[in-house]
């Protein structure tokens, strides 16, 4: 594998962020990074939780510590950020009852 160019401070390769454990600064587990959406200054971490997915802006004010060697990210989300940005899993397709009679 070819070696990658060193990055400026506080910038990361997407593949280094995917799989990182995400916790609040107080140690509450949020989930793990499934993917990174967007590019440049508008990137979002798609964090897989037990209840679906949470989108967390990849900005220094929220992602307060990133340790690639430990695959760990500490966040300090503003109040309500996790609840507001939760993306619920899509419900499974249900069979249509169109044309069926109900007794």
Q: What is the pLDDT of residues 75-87, one digit of tens each?
A: 999 998 888 777 6
Rg (CA), the chain: 18
* pLDDT tens digits, one per residue of 13-45: 899 999 999 999 999 999 999 999 987 667 999
- Give this prediction's pTM: 0.77
Helix (H, G, I), strand (E, B) or coil at 68: coil
| Residue 53 covered by a domain | yes
Distance CA 100, CA 103 (A): 10
What's the domain count of the chain? 1
Q: Report if residue 99 sits inside a domain.
A: no
Share of the chain above pLDDT 70, in %: 78
Q: How many residues does the chain have?
A: 103
Domain ranges, residue 63: 14-87
Confidence of residue 90 (pLDDT cuts 50, 70, 90): low
Q: List residues bridging with 24 in a β-sheet.
A: 75
Whether 2 is covered by a domain: the verdict is no
- Find the CATH number of the domain harbouring 47: 2.30.30.240
**Residue 35 covered by a domain:** yes
Is 61 within a domain?
A: yes
The pLDDT value recorded for residue 48 is: 94
């Amino acid at each position: 594998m070819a070696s990658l160019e060193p990055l400026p401070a506080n910038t990361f390769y997407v593949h280094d962020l995917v799989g990182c454990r995400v916790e609040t600064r107080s140690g509450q587990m949020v989930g793990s990074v499934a993917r990174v959406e967007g590019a440049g200054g508008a990137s979002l971490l798609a964090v897989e939780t037990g209840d679906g997915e949470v989108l967390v802006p990849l900005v220094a004010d929220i992602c307060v510590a990133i340790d690639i060697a430990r695959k760990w990210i500490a966040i300090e989300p503003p109040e309500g950020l996790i609840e507001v940005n939760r993306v619920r899993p899509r419900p499974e397709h249900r069979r249509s009852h169109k044309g069926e009679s109900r007794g």
